[in-house]
Amino acid sequence: MRLRTLSGGAGEGVGQRRSTIYWGVEKTFYIETFGCQMNAHDSEKVIGTLEHEGYMRVQDEADAGLILYNTCSIRDKAEQKVFHRLNEYKRLQGEGKRFAVLGCVAQQEGEKIFEKAPYVSIVSGSASYRKLPEMLARLEAGEKRITGLDDRQTEETFDTEFTSRTNPHRGYITIVEGCDKFCAYCVVPYTRGKERSRASDSVMAEARRMADAGFTEIQLLGQNVNSYRDPSGKMTFAELLAAVGCVAGIRRVRFTTSHPRDFTREIVQAIDAVPTLCDHVHLPVQSGSTRVLAAMNREYTREWYLERIAWIKAARREISMTSDIIVGFPGETEAELEETATLLEEVKYDAVFCFKYSSRPNTPAMGMADSIAEEEKVRRLQVILDRQREVQRKGYARHLGQVMEVMVEGHNASRGQVVGRSSQNKTVNFTVKQPILPALGSYPMVRITETFPNSLVGEAVAG
């Protein structure tokens, strides 16, 4: 996913300062973000930090004195894309601009980035973002090469009240950073460091600040969000989830991404008990084969995973389930692919994010023979997508005639529709009878009149 974070006013807690002159250009910056919600929220915090340090955000790299590139290395050839993008920026280096590479590729490639792109001035992994003010001061003092690369031993998290949030109604809170799971295919433990959690008091204070600023939806984030371990020992993850859901003014709370190894009954009980907790759980399975799961070092079996699914299905509320799947992992057989396909039909996910396996640097799977041809991976991916589409076609049909609360996210003028999202994280496109469309961030009730495999259609209900 490619996200550009370009414009917008000051976020919650951000003190605006007049831009000043450095390196013969204004103290301005442009940031481009690639990756997941964690990266997008990291960029919000980086933007807020830069603005607090007196920088002004601009919408075009040509107008920026400092160009930042927040990177992701989860997918294949991520580092190649980084250097390709840097090469595009190279044309601007003669204009007195400075360049920074942040995030996972920065941590993975380290000082090799300086060798391949000598016009880059800052290379910083996400675990070092707390040092940004210091790195910026060194840059302004004239240093040419500045690194922020922490090893896995760091205990620090990137907590800041200077967060420039791009959505005035829905906001993120990172509660745990890093990963200790070491799945065979994954670079995250190496690029984001070990698991380290924020104190619950800090999380709750941020949630209250967001509510006071008018946010109505909060999403708790972590590479493994339910692996949260309160340093103060006050709250479990389920208790923190419930506490955030009880903050006055908050109408919806989501969390992502959960790891099956740390998924507990208490999480389901919290969703049942606290109405503001959204009825949606994203629980990545990656494969339906116990043998492949062992090869992936997921440390659970198909049966163990299905036990957690049974807890969710036994809840008093209907909880929507989504997942991630990798096809073509080294050694996966046709029979094991079929095990994954049958898992889709057994669980009845409302959405699945499916990917072809690609080897990543420094991961244990790098040493495995990747004997499955690319065209075969493409075929297997399509098998899973086709089976899941049929599951979703039937699953979404159950909502026909239901009335549900929808948070308004946008207006589709060409179709005369309002675009929103349900508590189950489903896209709902609906019409209204009155001439004035509901405001962004509002929560109208909508009756579902038509269903598709990936979305719902409806009409607003008066009242």
Phi-psi region of 144 (alpha: psi -120 to 50; beta: other; left: phi over 0): alpha
Nearest CA among 223, 315, 318 for reference residue 261: 223
Confidence at residue 73, expressed as pLDDT on a 0 to 100 scale: 80
Dihedral Cα 69, 75, 81, 86, nearest 10 deg: 20
Q: How far apart are CA 454 and CA 86, in angstroms?
A: 36
pLDDT given for residue 96 in this prediction: 78
Strands 120-124 and 98-103 come out as: parallel
267/242 Cα distance (integer angstroms) = 9
Parts of the chain with a pLDDT under 50 = 1-19, 21, 23-24
Burial class (CB in 10 A: 0-12, 13-18, 19+), 8: middle
Supply the DSSP symbol for 79: H
Domains of the chain, each with CATH number or no CATH: 2-148 (3.40.50.12160), 167-278 (3.30.750.210), 286-397 (3.30.750.200), 403-460 (2.40.50.140)
Distance from the first to the final alpha carbon of the chain: 38
